[in-house]
Structure 1
Amino acid sequence: MSYDVHQTDGGRKFVIISGDFDFSDDLSQFRDLATREHLFAVGFDSPGGNVAKAMELGRIVRGLNLSTVQTRKLECASACSLAFLGGISRFAEPGSIGVHKSSFRDDSGVEVDDAVSAVQQTTAEIIGYMSEMGVDPALLQLSLSYNSDDIRYLSGSEMAKYKVTTPNAAPLPSSDDVREAPAAVAVTPSGVQAKEPSLEVPVARNGVVRHPKGRAPIKIRGDGDAETIGEARNGAPLRILEVQGDWYRVSVGGNVGFMHYSWVHVTQFEEDAGERRYIQVKSFSSLPEAEVFVRKSPVPLSAHLAANGWFAVTLKDVYAEDEAKDISNALKGHGLIAKDSMVTVGNTYVRKVCCE
Structure 2
Amino acid sequence: TRQARGRSLVAAAILVATGIATAAAAAVALGVESRPVAALLIVLPVALGDGLAPLADAMRAQARAEGAQSRLTALLDQVPAVAGAGQRIPHAEPEVSTEHVQASWTGEHPDMPPVTLGIEPGASVALIGPNGAGKSTLLAVLARHLDPTQGRYALTGDDVTGLDLAETRAKFAIVDDEPHVFASTVRENLRLAAPDAGDKEILAALQTAGLADLIASMPQGLDTHLGAGARGLSGGERARVAIGRAALSQRPLVLLDEPVAHLDHATAVAVLRDLRAATDGRTVVMVSHRADGLDDADAVIEVSHRRPISTTVCRKGCVGDRSTETEAKER
TM range (shorter): under 0.3
TM-score (normalizing by structure 2): 0.20
Which has the larger strand fraction? Answer: 1
Give the number of the structure with larger relative contact order, counting CA–CA contacts within 8 Å between residues 6 or more apart: 2
Q: Which has the larger radius of gyration?
A: 2
